[in-house]
Amino acid sequence: MSAKARPRTAESDEPAAPTPVALEDLPGVGGAIADKLREAGYTDLMELAVASPSDVAEAAEIGTATAQKIISEARRQADVGGFESGVTLLERRQKLGRVTTGAKSLDDLLGGGVETQAITEFSGEFGTGKTQLAHQIAVNIQLPVDQGGLASETVYIDTESTFRPERIVDMAKGVGLDPTEALGKIHIARAFNSNHQMLLVGKAQELARERPIRLIVVDSLTAHFRSEYMGRGELAPRQQLLNRHLHELLRFGATFNAAIVVTNQVSARPDILFGDPTRPIGGNIVAHAATYRVYLRKSKPPKRIARLIDSPNLPEGEAVFSLTGEGIRE
């Protein structure tokens, strides 16, 4: 597909994807800087407007003060960043989309399903259903709004080669979607390492200009970071990169009113880096960036128990759901 407009559906009343503008029009942005910014994924005003000065400085190899000036001007031109009344904020929050997980109990725990413009983390030990949930949400988002979807498509970043098209076929049938069409609306990329994983968010932005992408799945968010930055001395750089990755994901969520679903293993053994065996990896970095953190554990098969941890606006609680052949069910 070429640079044609994002297809709109009757169910989705989202604004069109931002129109690319010449970054060169911003004061202080020459051709070389504009190229570097675009390479780093800053292709329009909105993305610059919501970026942090240090990220922009690093991407364009300029000083933070210059980056701040560029961002301020992008904000002015994109008309963002001023004060908003509570009414406007409420209206924006009312635009938030929600996607069903397939289990009402789990949807209720999340306040009505997986939310757009936010990161939802599913953590838990192996076999607790993180990957199954990721598959199911990638299917369900395709449903019309009145059936719990957003009539939209998914970018699925697979870091552990556990994406299974066969499961999508089962789950699509389970919700009455055509399996081949459902597979066509999930854009899968295998991430070979953490660096590649981060680059893929930029690729997702490009794709989102052509396709109605309203969900990014990262399964697993932390596996590459964890295996590449093993030593104690590497904890700081690892957390820094993970932080950047999460903020790029959040930026995607804000720009495209998209949901971000990430999975995270818990530390299997107590060791110096991850002392608590039930703590999701990535510690406070993930804790700060993720709006909804759901910790999964096994129960009597095929049941799983989900617990919501540290949510800003929802009570802590638990939900039981089942992993079935057709997918996630009550």
Peptide bond between residue 2 and the one before it cis (omega within 30 degrees of 0): no
* 41 vs 129 by CB, closer to ligand ATP: 129
**Rounded least distance, CB 324 to ligand ATP, Å:** 6
> Which 3-state string (H, E, C) describes 153-200?
EEEEEECCCCCCHHHHHHHHHHCCCCHHHHHHCEEEEECCCHHHHHHH
Measured between alpha carbons, how far is residue 26 from residues 51, 80, 202, 290, 310 in Å? 15, 15, 21, 32, 40
* 51 vs 218 by CB, closer to ligand ATP: 218
* Residue in the structure block whose two tokens are 């999964």: 296
* 100 vs 123 by CB, closer to Mg ion: 123
**Rounded least distance, CB 116 to ligand ATP, Å:** 23
Contacts 24+ apart (CB under 8 A), 25-29: 26/70, 26/73, 26/74, 26/77, 27/69, 27/70, 27/73, 28/66, 28/69, 28/70, 28/73, 29/70
Please report, as residue ranges, which positions from 279 to 308 form the binding site for ligand ATP (by CB under 6 A): 302
* 29 vs 323 by CB, closer to Mg ion: 323
- Binding mask 241-280 toward ligand ATP (x if CB under 6 A, else -) reads ------------------------x---------------
Question: Quick check: 324 binds ligand ATP (CB under 6 A)?
Answer: yes
Report which of 118, 191, 120 is spatially closest to residue 159, judged by C-alpha positions: 191
Please report, as residue ranges, which positions from 125 to 144 form the binding site for ligand ATP (by CB under 6 A): 126-132
Measured between alpha carbons, how far is residue 120 from residues 259, 317, 329 in Å? 8, 16, 19
**Rounded least distance, CB 149 to ligand ATP, Å:** 20
Question: Quick check: 323 binds ligand ATP (CB under 6 A)?
Answer: yes
* 77 vs 324 by CB, closer to ligand ATP: 324
Pick from 12, 43, 123, 131: which binds Mg ion (CB under 5 A)?
Answer: 131
* Residue in the structure block whose two tokens are 């109605």: 212
Contacting range for ligand ATP; rule: CB under 6 A; set: 148-156, 174-182, 192-200, 317-325? 317-325
8-state DSSP, 233: G
Please report, as residue ranges, which positions from 192 to 251 form the binding site for ligand ATP (by CB under 6 A): none
* 37 vs 114 by CB, closer to ligand ATP: 114
> How many residues of this chain interact with ligand ATP, rule: CB under 6 A?
14
Cα angle vertex 267, ends 121, 55, to 5°? Answer: 50
* 98 vs 130 by CB, closer to ligand ATP: 130
Please say whether the beta carbons of 113 and 120 come within 8 A.
Answer: no
Contacts with Mg ion by CB under 5 A lie at: 130-131, 162
Q: Which residues bind ligand ATP (CB under 6 A)?
A: 124, 126-132, 162, 265, 302, 323-325
